[in-house]
């Protein structure tokens, strides 16, 4: 049995029951359809909005729940991750990543304009940071916005944008000034339908097929001043302030997804026989499963502590980096072993463990590659590059 967790209270567990019911009734029956079409349909988004899942942290006056407790986000991520990282990724972009920008940095007019549809699922959002030549190095982005009358002209492109093919609003980072790379970046709310804003192909990923991931192009897009989010030239600071939550969402998803693969495998090794007995009874397999179970429990304990600290506003960026890289590494180790225990069947897409294996690989790359996470941790130890 997994270690008893103390992170959640009764309200969180009641919320979990609601999310689990939504997953079973509304999402699982459509999972094959979502994977085939490479996106989550709008009815599913709106149902999530109707149940209050998209309004976590949003004030009630704008259609939200007034719940400002990241542990509820954690529950949502955990339950979605158990059926596919793509679901946690797509809905997490909205609830964990975009929401703080729209809640904390927008004007009253912007809140009235965007948040009600955001909470209802009528406005799907994306975050436009990553570019073909600027991934983990956000300060190196090249998309540029030039002042033009009462607004800005934006030119550039973004890639690997989750929800990009379906988004109605993209919080987009663009360079608005000169000077050092980390300065002179501003965030814009670019809306579907703005002239010059177009989408490229929905990218064919190795896994997470239910999440649409696309290229975005900005060709002389006129963006009015009313769509500037936060401080002019303050975008890099804003992005850095919100990365810890993105990394915690990733960490929570990683460990829940790994636990799901482990649970599937535990059932398989009890049902699958070889040489006249269940394969789980062989000493090597038994020891391997004991190892995986321990790794999951130890990692979960750390992630839970980080989640609690984040919900209290006390989590450091360094601990968020540790949580992100370690959980993704453990996830990879656990699911790779689960595929091995399934034998040849683990390589067949009709078995969920194959999808879990494909889904997991990118988590060591996104939200800042694990190499970048180690760089953050190493610098905190006083081991920065002396140059």
Strand partners, 185: 175, 234
Q: Do 12 and 139 form a contact (C-beta atoms < 8 A)?
A: no
Strand partners, 171: 127, 189
* Residue 180 φ/ψ, nearest 5 degrees: -55, 155
The C-alpha angle with vertex 378 and arms to 376 and 380, in degrees rounded to 5, equals 70
- 3-class secondary structure, 140: helix
Q: Which residues have a Cβ under 8 Å from the Cβ of 144 and sit 6 or more positions away? A: 154, 155, 156, 174, 175, 176
Which residues are identified as catalytic? Answer: 246
d(CA 194, CA 104): 24
DSSP H helices in 272-363: 283-311, 317-342, 352-360
Taking residue 275's Cβ as centre, other Cβ atoms within 10 Å add up to 7
- And the tokens for 226? 């009313």
Q: Do 119 and 49 form a contact (C-beta atoms < 8 A)?
A: yes
What number of residues does the chain have? 387
């Amino acid at each position: 049995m997994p270690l008893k967790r103390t992170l959640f209270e009764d309200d969180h567990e009641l919320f979990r029951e609601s999310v689990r019911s939504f997953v079973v009734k509304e999402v699982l029956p459509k999972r094959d359809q979502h994977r085939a079409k490479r996106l989550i349909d709008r009815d599913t988004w709106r149902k999530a909005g109707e149940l209050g899942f998209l309004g976590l942290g949003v004030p009630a006056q704008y259609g939200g729940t007034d719940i400002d407790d990241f542990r509820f986000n954690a529950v949502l991520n955990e339950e979605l991750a158990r059926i596919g990282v793509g679901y946690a990724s797509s809905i997490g972009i909205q609830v964990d990543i975009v929401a703080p920008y729209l809640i904390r940095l927008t004007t009253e007019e912007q809140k009235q304009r965007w948040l009600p549809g955001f909470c209802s699922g009528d406005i799907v959002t994306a975050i436009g940071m990553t570019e073909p030549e600027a991934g983990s190095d956000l300060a190196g982005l090249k998309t540029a916005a030039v002042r033009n009358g009462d607004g800005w002209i934006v030119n550039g492109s973004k890639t690997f944008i989750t929800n990009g093919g379906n988004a109605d609003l993209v919080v987009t980072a663009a360079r608005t000034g000169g000077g050092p790379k980390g300065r002179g970046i501003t965030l814009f709310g670019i809306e579907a339908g703005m002239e010059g804003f177009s989408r490229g192909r929905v990218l064919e990923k190795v896994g997470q097929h239910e999440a649409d991931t696309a290229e975005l192009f900005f060709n002389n897009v006129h963006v009015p001043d009313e769509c500037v989010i936060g401080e002019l030239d303050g975008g890099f600071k804003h992005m850095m302030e919100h990365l810890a939550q993105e990394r915690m969402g990733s960490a929570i998803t990683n460990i829940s997804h790994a636990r799901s693969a482990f649970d599937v495998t535990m059932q398989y090794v009890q049902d699958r026989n070889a040489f006249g007995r269940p394969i789980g009874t062989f000493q090597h397999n038994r020891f391997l499963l004991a190892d995986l179970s321990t790794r999951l429990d130890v990692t979960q304990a750390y992630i839970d502590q980080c989640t609690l600290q984040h919900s209290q506003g006390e989590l450091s960026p360094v601990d968020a980096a540790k949580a992100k890289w370690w959980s993704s590494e453990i996830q990879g180790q656990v699911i790779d072993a689960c595929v091995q225990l399934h034998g040849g069947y683990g390589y067949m897409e009709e078995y969920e463990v194959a999808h879990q294996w494909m889904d997991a690989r990118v988590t060591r790359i996104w939200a800042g590659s694990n190499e970048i996470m180690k760089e953050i941790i190493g610098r905190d130890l006083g081991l920065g590059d002396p140059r």
